[in-house]
């Protein structure tokens, strides 16, 4: 979350071309393809692809692992509709400047099952999850001494489970294949997904061995899931030892468009499909301040969006084409600890949290002016202040939507006082709907166990 520059170890995202089954829809398509009788199709030589047997050796597990890391980076913040982008679009960080209904409906809080843009991102996240599951199993048998490497795959598994819980409606299922047979998964509730994530992060922590990167990253992910489950003290304990200077980074490059930073691609590059926004729909936070808050750097421009009608778009300067994404960091750990302290409900707790928030500002590089005034005297105001600071520190890193849903679910806030509402920003016409999550795509209905969202609650 921090805008500080630290020397935290970066997560490599070296690309490896692989084909993997993901959702029930992908598996059904693979079954159809397998029925093809064309030798020309089935016997094509693909030397850039490694077969399953090649992965299942001590020499093969690293290429497998690197491929999973690449898939995860692509899904998290490496494409035009990456999780960081679409979650911000539904939240109050980003506005759509596109002509495609899939993006427009998410921005307008009117998400639907038929949505090719969101289906594509759902598939990418499913691919990352399935890859991580496969890698944990392969590493356990082919290279059991590689502990932190297996822990890293559990960490990736855990974060994808968190993202499904925070971004999509209740009901995500995880399918797989065994011996050429599709094993369709059962739908998981939002709470189920967070609990699965905690278990995944527990496994990562147990296997972290000498890797502080895996250890601290998993402790942060675990706390994120625990906060969602309203287990505040456990969340604080989980990150108690994470240094403020720690950052779990997702690296990007110009080697291919797949390896660009997806926030730059989606919201800053040329006639982009999205743009950062401020005070969206009345309830949105004032992100684009003048002068700019160091945590939310931006500049004005004469840029026009893809729709040709959205003009003078502001440019976020936090992420460039090759800027590393910030999956988790030590500032987030401190905010988690402060949120746990706030649960005490006494004025002394509110005073301590207020002081802690200002301490984070004072120790940033560059230092940020303290929050004006004194500590809130009501619990509601203190919660609002804390979540505002969380939004500023974590701007454009995929955390805001989960926090907004948590405000509704855990703190009893009215969704229509948390999410953008009223008239859509020009040049869009109409009003915001009431969605607080992205609908699981229609193609998941190829899974006979899936009959649509279990519910659309935050």
Residue 33's pLDDT is 31
User: What CA–CA distance (Å, rounded) separates 9 from 178?
Assistant: 36
Q: Are strands 181-183 and 176-178 parallel, antiparallel or unpaired?
A: antiparallel
Residue 301's pLDDT is 97
Residue 314's pLDDT is 97
User: What CA–CA distance (Å, rounded) separates 97 from 266?
Assistant: 10
Residue 275's pLDDT is 98
Q: What is the pTM of this model?
A: 0.90
Task: Report pLDDT digits (tens) over 187-219.
Answer: 999 999 999 999 999 999 999 999 999 999 999
Angle between helices 379-393 and 330-342 (to 10 degrees): 170
Task: Report pLDDT digits (tens) over 311-337.
Answer: 999 999 999 999 999 999 999 999 999
Task: Report pLDDT digits (tens) over 255-284.
Answer: 999 999 999 999 999 999 999 999 999 999
Beta strand ranges found along 198-351 (DSSP E): 247-250, 274-276, 298-303, 313-316, 325-329
Which helix (DSSP H) or strand (DSSP E) does residue 178 occupy? strand 176-178
Phi then psi dihedrals of residue 380, to 5 deg: -60, -45
What is Dmax (Cα atoms) for the chain?
74
Residue segments in the chain with a per-residue pLDDT below the cut of 70: 1-52
Residue 177's pLDDT is 85
Q: What is the 3-state secondary structure (H, E, C) of 91-145?
A: CCCEEECCCCHHHHHHHCCCCCCCCHHHHHHHHHHHHHHHHHHHHHHHHHHHCCC
Structural domains in the chain, CATH included, are 10-42+51-446 (1.25.40.390)
């Amino acid at each position: 979350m921090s805008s500080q520059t630290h020397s935290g170890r970066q997560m490599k995202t070296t690309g490896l071309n692989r084909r993997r089954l993901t959702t029930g829809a992908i598996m059904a398509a693979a079954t159809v393809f397998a029925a093809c009788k064309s030798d020309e199709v089935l016997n094509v030589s693909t030397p850039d692809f490694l077969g399953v047997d090649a992965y299942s050796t001590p020499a093969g597990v690293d290429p497998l692992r690197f491929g999973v890391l690449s898939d995860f980076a692509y899904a998290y913040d490496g494409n035009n509709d990456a999780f960081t982008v679409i979650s911000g679009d539904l939240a109050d960080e980003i506005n759509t400047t596109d002509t495609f209904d899939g993006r427009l409906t998410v921005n307008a809080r009117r998400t639907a099952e038929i949505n090719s843009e969101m289906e594509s991102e759902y598939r990418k996240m499913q691919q990352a999850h399935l890859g991580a599951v496969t890698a944990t199993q392969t590493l356990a048998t082919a290279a059991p001494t590689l502990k932190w490497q297996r822990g890293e795959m559990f960490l990736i598994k855990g974060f994808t489970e968190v993202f499904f819980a925070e971004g999509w409606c209740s009901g995500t299922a995880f399918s797989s294949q065994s011996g050429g047979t599709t094993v369709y998964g059962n739908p998981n509730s939002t709470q189920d997904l967070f609990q699965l994530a905690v278990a995944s992060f527990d496994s990562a922590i147990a296997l972290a061995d000498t890797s502080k990167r895996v250890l601290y990253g998993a402790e942060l992910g675990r706390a994120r899931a625990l906060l969602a489950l309203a287990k505040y003290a456990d969340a604080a304990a989980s990150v108690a030892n994470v240094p403020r200077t720690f950052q779990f980074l997702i690296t990007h490059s110009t080697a291919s468009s797949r390896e660009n930073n997806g926030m730059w691609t989606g919201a800053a590059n040329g006639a982009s499909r999205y743009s950062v926004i401020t005070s969206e729909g009345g309830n949105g936070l004032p992100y684009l301040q003048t002068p700019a808050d160091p945590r939310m750097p931006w500049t004005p421009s004469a840029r026009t969006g893809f729709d040709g009608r959205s003009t003078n778009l502001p440019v976020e300067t936090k992420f460039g084409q090759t800027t590393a994404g910030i999956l988790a960091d030590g500032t987030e750990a401190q905010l988690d600890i402060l949120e746990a302290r706030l649960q005490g409900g006494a004025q002394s707790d509110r005073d301590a949290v207020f002081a802690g928030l200002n301490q984070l500002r004072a120790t940033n590089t560059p230092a940020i002016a303290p929050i004006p005034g004194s500590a809130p005297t009501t619990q509601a105001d203190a919660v609002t202040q804390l979540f505002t600071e969380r939004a500023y520190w974590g701007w454009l890193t995929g955390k805001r939507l989960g926090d907004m849903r948590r405000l509704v679910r855990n703190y009893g806030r009215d969704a229509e006082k948390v999410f953008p509402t009223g008239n859509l920003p020009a040049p869009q016409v109409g009003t915001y709907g009431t969605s607080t999550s992205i609908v699981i795509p229609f193609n998941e209905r190829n899974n006979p166990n899936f009959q649509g969202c279990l519910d659309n609650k935050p």
